[in-house]
Amino acid sequence: MPGKKRIFALVMLKRGVILLLLLLPSCIEKVDLDSDILEGTAVCWMGDIPDSTPLSRMSIPGAHDAASATITAWTAWTQTQGRTIAGLWNCGVRAFDLRPALVDGELGIYHDKYSAHVTFQQVMQALLLALEKHPSEGAIILIRHEEEADGNNPLWQQAMGDYLESIRPHLVAYHPGLTMGELRGKVLILSRNEYKDGPKGAYIKGWSSSAHLQAQKGASLIGEDGKASELWVQDYYHPEGEQDKWEAVKAILDQMEAAGEACPLVINHCSGYLGTLPDYRTNARIINVKTADYLTERSCPAGIVMMDYAGESHSKGVYVGGDRLVSVLIGR
């Protein structure tokens, strides 16, 4: 794949945690995934899913602000994950929320204005390597232009479009009946922002951060053929309290069960923070656990479930339940 990259060193710390360190510019083209395998991995879980299974009838663990574990300019709300992209892949995560911004001519990953010290291209190449090694799997990328980091750089659309075109053979076009067989070995790009010569996958329109179910059911996906299809999105990221957030998560799950085979693709966010100050860990401790408990009692698909601390048992001494929620989703 074209373009100069940066060398990354994977340094083993206590309890198997991997720290991704940015070193010197180089033409190294990849990030090694195999050196980041952690205990309890689920590298090939999609291989058990029949090819004919529609994406809309699957349960897929996802990571909100997926690259934020490597943000070093720490504040109370910059980090929502404890594992690197490689660590998330190896624990079974297959949907990745990435926030690229065009800074100094490079599509870097940010949360707000804080850099994750990794580029969008490097994350994508790491995932393409994983898919090459494990072709039974597929990956879903949710893109949002992190305008706070680059001042809404007008060149973002061209840079993103040019890069996605360069990896076009690895991408799958979205359509409402997209199946696991079509996704295998491929990446599905779902972008909340338009880019040059797109979409390559689908654009998301009507993304909802509302607490109201009807607003959440009002989104759509615009495919490469220009046709719109139904999408449900629950991203009520700043609720008044835990009960408000849980009711939003549960309402979408209940609607999926009621809709059955007619249910469209669903993106359901467990992620968020409670009250007046960012508190991702408290939210995860409550919502990740409640969602896992609720799904254990039911057999219906759960859609794409985006969470904080995916694959993590504890974060800074707080039980966050991300390991259990990923495990429950994979086991459905």
> Digits of tens for pLDDT over the chain (332 positions)?
333 333 333 333 333 333 333 332 322 233 444 445 444 457 799 999 999 999 999 999 999 999 999 999 877 789 999 999 999 999 999 999 999 999 999 999 999 999 999 999 999 999 999 999 999 999 999 999 999 999 999 999 999 999 999 999 999 999 999 999 999 999 999 999 999 999 999 999 999 999 999 999 999 999 999 999 999 999 999 998 999 999 999 999 999 999 999 999 999 999 999 887 788 999 999 999 999 999 999 999 999 999 999 999 999 999 999 999 999 999 98
In a domain, 52, yes or no: no
In a domain, 243, yes or no: yes
In a domain, 37, yes or no: no
pLDDT value of residue 134: 95
In a domain, 124, yes or no: yes
In a domain, 47, yes or no: no
CATH number, domain containing residue 162: 3.20.20.190
In a domain, 34, yes or no: no
* CA distance readout (Å), 257 to 42, 180, 302, 303: 26, 20, 9, 11
In a domain, 101, yes or no: yes
pTM of the model: 0.89
pLDDT value of residue 36: 52
- Number of domain units in the chain: 1
Residue 151 belongs to domain spanning: 5-29+59-72+80-330
pLDDT value of residue 145: 98
pLDDT value of residue 205: 98
CA–CA distance, 19 with 40 (Å, rounded to integer): 18
pLDDT value of residue 283: 96
In a domain, 311, yes or no: yes
